[in-house]
């Protein structure tokens, strides 16, 4: 069986940065009591654990956040067998200097006028809690351990998992 290690404060923020920064997540909002999910790229994780995303001002996700700021972010890096699930509160931010800080050429696919596109807004997410699953050895070793456990009948060492509280 794997280790259980809960992370708080700075250790939690470092784990979030490791598993979320510049990664794609399923960004979940709520509408009429239903979960609405879409893939989004995490642009940055600040020193306080705030996650930053670029978004169109007129997007349905911005409207959903205005109605209910609760969000759920789910990250999956199957190449490393790393998984992260976070809950928190989002807010819409209009800040051109932050847009310039976070801008990357791929964002132009959504904002044809570039970083000066008047439709750009930012979403900041303040995480509250979550859970992570992190294999210590990566995919190949994990797959070998699963195979050995299946053949031997012994439970495998599944790495580390724990709760995250920021």
CATH number at residue 127: 2.30.110.10
Query: Over its length of 166 residues, how does the chain's per-residue pLDDT go in tens digits?
Result: 478 999 999 999 999 999 999 999 999 999 999 999 999 999 999 999 999 999 999 999 999 999 999 999 999 998 888 999 999 999 999 999 999 999 999 999 999 999 999 999 999 999 999 999 998 655 444 444 444 444 555 654 568 899 999 9
**What backbone torsions phi and psi does residue 99 show, to the nearest 5 degrees?**
-60, -45
Q: What's the confidence (pLDDT) of residue 159?
A: 80
Q: What's the confidence (pLDDT) of residue 74?
A: 98
Cα dihedral 78, 46, 36, 109 sign: negative
Name which of 8, 4, 98, 113 is nearest 53 in CA terms: 98
β-strand partners of 38: 27
Domain count, the chain: 1
Q: What's the confidence (pLDDT) of residue 157?
A: 57
Question: What distance in Å separates the CA atoms of residue 111 and residue 104, rounded to the nearest whole number?
Answer: 11
pTM for this prediction: 0.87
């Amino acid at each position: 069986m794997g280790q259980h290690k809960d992370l708080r404060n700075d250790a939690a923020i470092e784990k979030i940065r490791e598993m979320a920064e510049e990664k794609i997540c399923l960004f979940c909002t709520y509408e009429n009591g239903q979960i609405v999910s879409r893939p989004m790229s995490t642009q940055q994780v600040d020193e306080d654990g705030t996650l930053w995303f670029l978004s169109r001002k007129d997007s349905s996700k911005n409207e959903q956040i205005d109605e209910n700021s609760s969000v759920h972010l789910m990250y999956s890096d199957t190449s490393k067998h790393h998984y992260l699930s976070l809950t928190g509160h989002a807010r819409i931010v209009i800040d051109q200097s932050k847009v310039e800080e976070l801008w990357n050429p791929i964002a132009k696919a959504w904002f044809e006028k570039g970083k000066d596109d008047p439709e750009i807004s930012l979403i900041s997410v303040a995480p509250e809690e979550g859970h992570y699953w992190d294999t210590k050895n990566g995919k190949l070793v994990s797959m070998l351990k699963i195979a050995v456990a299946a053949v031997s009948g012994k439970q495998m060492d599944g790495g580390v998992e724990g709760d995250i509280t920021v």
